[in-house]
């Protein structure tokens, strides 16, 4: 019980971190590429904070489902709920401030584009986002040098922001600022939830297949050398 409570609280903080990043991205992005690039860079501070404080983020944890016991699925679901709560609460709080007019206008345009997209486009874009998040988290873990760790923490995140890939937790912030809570929005949130998981898990699975094949190849070479 304590572990789930810890995950939930950690996930709330994590959702808030994503909201800080998403809010900064919206404020920076005035439609020009340089401003969007700056916003994408600032968005990364959210995940960078999550990584270094070891907080629970759904898109950063779901890719490790195959590495853990079935209980981990419940932990990831708890994490997702906490992320949504944290993102929604902070977004709702920021919505009471003077910057909401700018945020609402830009997020309404952003949300309109999302809702006018086909369901399969949302799913694909969500899967690609899942790949980028897994690449960021796992790359940060595997990198041996601090500079490489920082690059992995930033570059894949900037890529998914600039490409417009769908991050389900970040979208909690965008939809809250836009004030859009429709049945279609709920359906698209579910597709983002599934897509982020599929992209991350499939990418992790393919990496494992490559590692297994490399190990088999190495074993075959050693056998030949012994013979």
* Distance in angstroms (rounded) separating the CA atoms of residues 207 and 227: 31
Contact between 70 and 80 under an 8 Å Cβ cutoff? The reply is no
Q: Residue 215 has what pLDDT? A: 83
Q: Residue 7 has what pLDDT? A: 97
Contact between 26 and 103 under an 8 Å Cβ cutoff? The reply is yes
User: Structure tokens of 87?
Assistant: 């993102």
98 three-state secondary structure:
coil
- Please list the pLDDT of the chain residue by residue as tens digits (227 residues): 669 999 999 999 999 999 999 999 999 998 888 999 999 999 998 989 999 999 999 999 999 999 999 999 999 999 999 999 999 999 999 999 999 999 999 999 999 999 999 999 999 999 999 999 999 999 999 999 999 999 998 999 999 999 999 999 999 999 999 999 999 999 999 999 999 999 999 999 999 999 888 887 666 665 565 65
* Distance in angstroms (rounded) separating the CA atoms of residues 122 and 11: 24
Residue recorded with tokens 């903080």: 13
The structural architecture, per CATH, of the domain 2-226 is Up-down Bundle (1.20)
Q: Residue 137 has what pLDDT? A: 95
Q: Residue 31 has what pLDDT? A: 82
108 three-state secondary structure:
helix
User: Structure tokens of 191?
Assistant: 């597709």
* Distance in angstroms (rounded) separating the CA atoms of residues 94 and 107: 14
């Amino acid at each position: 019980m304590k572990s789930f409570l810890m995950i939930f609280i950690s996930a709330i903080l994590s959702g808030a971190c994503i909201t800080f990043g998403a809010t900064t991205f919206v404020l920076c992005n005035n439609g020009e590429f340089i401003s969007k690039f700056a916003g994408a860079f600032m968005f990364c501070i959210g995940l960078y904070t999550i990584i270094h404080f070891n907080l629970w983020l759904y898109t950063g944890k779901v890719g490790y489902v195959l590495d853990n016991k079935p209980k981990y699925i419940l932990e990831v679901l708890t994490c997702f709920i906490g992320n949504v709560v944290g993102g929604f609460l902070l977004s709702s709080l920021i919505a009471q401030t003077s910057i909401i007019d700018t945020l609402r206008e830009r997020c309404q345009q952003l949300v309109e584009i999302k809702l006018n997209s086909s369901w399969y486009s949302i799913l694909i874009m969500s899967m690609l986002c899942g790949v980028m998040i897994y690449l960021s988290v796992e790359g940060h873990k595997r990198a041996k040098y601090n500079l490489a760790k920082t690059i992995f923490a930033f570059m894949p995140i900037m890529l998914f922001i600039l490409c417009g890939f769908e991050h389900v937790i970040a979208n909690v912030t965008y939809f809250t600022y836009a004030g859009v809570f429709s049945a279609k929005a709920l359906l698209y949130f579910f597709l983002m939830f599934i897509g982020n998981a599929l992209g991350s898990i499939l990418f992790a699975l393919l990496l494992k297949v490559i590692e297994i094949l490399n190990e088999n190849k190495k074993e075959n070479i050693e056998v030949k050398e012994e013979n």
